[in-house]
Amino acid sequence: MNLSNLKPKEGSVKTRKRIGRGTGSGLGGTSTRGHKGAKSRSGYSRKSGFEGGQMPIQRRLPKFGFKNINRVEYKAINIDTLQKLAEAQNLSKIGLEELRSAGFISARQKVKILGQGTLSAKLDVEAHAFSKTAEAAIQTAGGSIVKI
């Protein structure tokens, strides 16, 4: 064995198809593209969403709904969560900083207190919004609410 008689292993190298090089090659004529139609022509690229001329799905389905640009999204926190937080950290005032440090909200989230659960601790609660049931539950427990 020397450099002059090295060959790749049998079957490991295939000869490439030389498409469109005359009829004698067997791959001339239509050059493996079939007969006529857009796919046989040069420069063809299918547009995304094209369904062969059939009315595409994004045009068959109706438009609906809208996005309200004035929508204010609140992070909902129930009063039973406030009760657990007050018991765990022995708090009498719960504001945004306490909720952030406990991991309930992130830096810019607005908070709405909802009335699910029971509240026995006397708490001063500070939030952006309150439901009527939460407001009533906090005040009957002897606490106060502060809307930011």
**Token code pair at residue 62:** 């109706």
> Is position 135 within any domain?
yes
Q: pTM here?
A: 0.58
Instruction: Please report, for the domain that includes residue 99, its CATH number.
Output: 3.100.10.10
Residue 18 vs residues 21, 44, 139: alpha-carbon distances, Å? 6, 21, 85
Total domains, the chain: 1
Q: Alpha-carbon distance 31 to 141, whole Å?
A: 84
Contacts of 2 (CB under 8 A, 6+ apart): none
Full residue range of the structural domain in which residue 115 is found: 74-147
Tell me the pLDDT tens digit for each residue of 15-63. 999 999 999 999 999 999 999 998 999 999 989 999 988 999 999 999 9
Q: How far is CA 139 from the centre of its chain?
A: 39
